Structure 1
């Protein structure tokens, strides 16, 4: 059984036929939502404003070099997989692409089956990466153990599986607000019918554990875009 990936994929590719083909394969075979653009500048705005899980960037966008765009996204805190597509196959070009912050470098012409497999591999890699130990406010978060450990007192707070998954998903978004519907897709799955009020209940319980004063939210806040984790 193939691993499930979820979320929206930003496809920033100049070639219209290639962009549509990639988007069609992502939607038909992976059940993902593909957001298309041929502009690097628009891609920067979309990855900031949309709940994107993966970015595909063409190295030869008309308005900005793909490697430069990748570097900009990383400097702006984008932590999701970025896959760079390029017709340049010299070792120096591959090294430049990966050093710019790309998670993977795929040489054109592209075999769609290979592209989808590489995207799934990146999701597995990032899932393992963010299932390591990382800091949230005064805590160290251990997703695998579903534990928040206070760094000064070493007090351990146990989380439920859902609470841990929600916290992990919010952390991956790098402080961007996400709606309840996105959390449902990430934690319960795109095909599961879950009322947003269920998310609200889990967020409430998570705040009781995470926030020093749940009446004065400092880390897990709500704004116009949804829920946001301040890191």
Structure 2
């Protein structure tokens, strides 16, 4: 299979590597964060495997299946967002740390992600505009209320009262 894929690799949108045993395979995938293993048997404790146990196979169908598997891997890789010691699963809308999970709303996730991407405190006006899509200058306490409730949820679940901190010119992830 490797030799066939190697021959047509110019028509593929992924790289081809060969590993003939599990140790080499483990060493090889350590260098990649986006990979798919095509194998004739399933390896334990290795992610992103496509087991090819039906042969012969139409090469165009094979390439289509491989691309679908890559899309699945990419979707799963993009579904997690790491902020400090927490992992936010965008698909399930959960924040987790040390096997403790907290359900979040879409706005809470968007707020955390927006704050985490900023190196400086983010003003209430900027959060209103960028996260809530409000026009600037509208008098509302939506941001303050949401941040207050979010901080309270994080404190109750993770006992962390310093995750989102207030500065004189806005909010910031600590």
TM score, norm. by length of structure 2: 0.48
Structure showing greater radius of gyration is 2
Q: Which has the higher contact order (CA 8 A, sep 6+)?
A: 1
TM-score by length of 1: 0.37
